[in-house]
Amino acid sequence: MAKILIVEDDANNRELIARIVELMGHEPILAVDGAQGVALARSMQPDLIIMDMGLPVLNGWQATHRIKSQPTTRHIPVLALTAYALHEDRLRSLAAGCDDFETKPIDFGRFREKVQALLSRTA
């Protein structure tokens, strides 16, 4: 069972993603903004982070950059999950340090595949 940090400000999306993660047999950890996501990444050391990009306090790009800039958290893979679906948004997410990119609305099959692929890279 992997610990997966879900950083999502929308309660409905957060609950949906948490349920998917649980159905996959993993433990969800929930954060409601980028600052809380950075703090939980440090303290909980999750196996994967699912990061919304349009977040309050610190946006997803800023939070990912902070996570990937710190020696204690840079190894944690980050999957950007966002409604920002343009090619430039993908490039910006990857430049901030995200390891992969997925758009909303969620394609459940593709989402599960990306989560499993990122978890297998760290196993």
The identity of residue 2, as a single letter, is A
What is residue 113's predicted lDDT score, i.e. its pLDDT? 97
What is residue 123's predicted lDDT score, i.e. its pLDDT? 66
Q: Which residues pair with 64 in a beta bridge?
A: none
Given a contact cutoff of 8 angstroms between Cβ atoms, the answer to whether 31 and 51 are in contact is no
What is residue 78's predicted lDDT score, i.e. its pLDDT? 98
121 pLDDT band, cuts 50/70/90, is: confident
| Top-confidence residue, 70 or 87 | 70
- For residue 14, is pLDDT > 70? yes
Report which DSSP code applies to 123: -
CA quadruple 65, 98, 123, 8: dihedral positive or negative? positive
What's the mean per-residue pLDDT of the chain? 95
